[in-house]
Amino acid sequence: MRTIWSLFGALALWAAEPAAAAEAHLPFFNANRDWVLRRFEELQRPSNADLAPARAWSFDPFADESALARLRAAQAGLDSATTVGDLGGFRAALDRVLLDAAAAGARLDSLDRCFARHLRTALEVTLAAKPAVDVERVEAWLDGMLVQQRTLSDTERAALAAGGVFEVVRRVVEPRTQTLEVRAWARGATEPSRTLLTVSPPPDQLSVVHLDLDSAQAPARTERTALGGGN
């Protein structure tokens, strides 16, 4: 019985703190929350819009009772349990809550990926380096948030040394001014090369920032281009 109570206590604590659990889902929305909300508020809503496609999803995470209320109902079943069968009913109710929570999380992640796929403003950062600069690891940061980190394989390092170009990061971004920082660790260097610059990706275009790294300590030389748009 003590084990069951411990399990329930942990689940109740999880349900009482939804913000922590939410961090595991909706990665794009969490990373771009303010921008998404601003764009949503700016949308015009015609009175004659056909809402049938949206309603076809038939998904409202708030239509059913909350997970916390269902956990409390399961607790009531446990509190009144007098037989092994009653405990089995409690276990079944708890399993249903967990299954529904997992299904809701999967659907939210699906919506998140679908939304991100339809956005066309993107940023690509590429890196080239002199053969003497043996780059082992790179990181990309946007507005102080780590968005990519990669340890280069032996094949990638050899290709870079032979004059190749390494894709540091390619991702959908907000069409606004942002701070980009690329850190590159070279073999034998105690500190990375830090290249810091401001980017303002134009809407519906792919902004390309190419970095040429001549030194393991100095910032890279940068070249910028943009592709697409005009549609």
Interval 31-50: pLDDT, tens: 777 777 676 667 666 666 66
pLDDT, residue 231, reads: 44
Q: What is the pLDDT of residue 215?
A: 92
Q: Which structural domains are found in the chain, ordered by start?
A: 2-117 (no CATH), 122-227 (2.60.40)
Phi, psi of 57 (to 5 degrees): -65, -30
pLDDT given for residue 146 in this prediction: 94
CA distance linking residue 122 with residue 27, whole number of Å: 16
Asked if the model's pLDDT at residue 4 lies above 80, the reply is no
Q: Which two tokens stand for residue 25?
A: 């889902």
Q: What is the pLDDT of residue 9?
A: 47
pTM: predicted TM-score of the whole model, two decimal places: 0.53
Based on the number of CB atoms within 10 Å of its own CB, is 224 exposed (0-12), middle (13-18) or buried (19 or more)? exposed
84-119: per-residue pLDDT in tens?
A: 887 888 888 878 877 877 777 777 777 777 766 667
| Residue 149 and residue 138 in contact, taking contact as beta carbons nearer than 8 Å | yes
Query: What's the chain's Rg over C-alpha atoms?
Result: 25
- Cβ(80)–Cβ(90) under 8 Å? no
Q: Is 169 or 83 the better-scoring residue by pLDDT?
A: 169
| pLDDT at residue number 7 | 44
Give 94 or 164, the one with higher predicted confidence. Answer: 164
How many whole angstroms separate alpha carbon 35 and alpha carbon 90?
A: 43
